[in-house]
């Protein structure tokens, strides 16, 4: 698969898992630098928001929008994955005044290679949204073709609502 950044085509490093398949095995790191494996994400419906670089405006907007929605879906877990280091992610949270966000670092690119989302020419992950059910099966996948654009939030949240109800606060 190819994505673009400002119109320039870039190939992804591997094959993307399809809807209906299980999320592949990978490891990430949380904000306490603890290893988080695929198995740790299974057991609860999860929305995984993947951003190329937290320190860019579109990635900040995407992360904030999903963080703001998380309270409306208490039966689901929301994660943001980037290949920024744990220290960079922590710094971003401090600079942006963001709390209660589950940031996961893919600095080692395990997630990027296993999901086929690593973009070698750019050195980061492709912007995408993934929803997995409680068994770890992929029920929704959205890879944003033009990486400088935001994802379709409404489509992702509509897909999430098929698994868990929205609760208005």
Cα dihedral across residues 68, 97, 46, 130: positive or negative: positive
Distance CA 75, CA 138 (A): 17
User: Across-strand partners of 32?
Assistant: none
Active site residue 59: yes
Residue 49 near residue 129 (C-beta atoms within 8 A):
yes
Q: Which of 59, 117, 143, 164 is catalytic?
A: 59
Residues known to be catalytic? 59
């Amino acid at each position: 698969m190819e994505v673009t950044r400002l119109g320039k085509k870039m190939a992804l490093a591997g094959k993307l898992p399809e809807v209906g398949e299980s999320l592949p095995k990978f490891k990430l790191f949380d904000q306490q630098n603890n290893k988080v494996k695929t198995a740790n994400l299974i057991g609860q419906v999860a929305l995984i928001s993947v951003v190329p670089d937290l320190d860019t405006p579109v990635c900040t907007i995407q992360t904030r929008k999903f963080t703001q929605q998380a309270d409306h879906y208490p039966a689901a877990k929301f994660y943001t994955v980037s290949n920024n280091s744990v220290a960079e992610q922590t710094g971003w949270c401090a600079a942006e005044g963001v709390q209660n966000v589950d940031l996961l670092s893919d600095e080692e690119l395990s997630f990027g290679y296993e999901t086929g989302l690593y973009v070698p020419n750019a050195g980061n992950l492709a912007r995408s949204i993934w929803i997995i059910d409680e068994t770890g099966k992929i029920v929704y996948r959205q890879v944003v073709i033009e990486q400088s654009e935001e994802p379709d939030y409404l489509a992702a949240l509509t897909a999430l609502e098929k698994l868990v109800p929205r609760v208005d606060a």
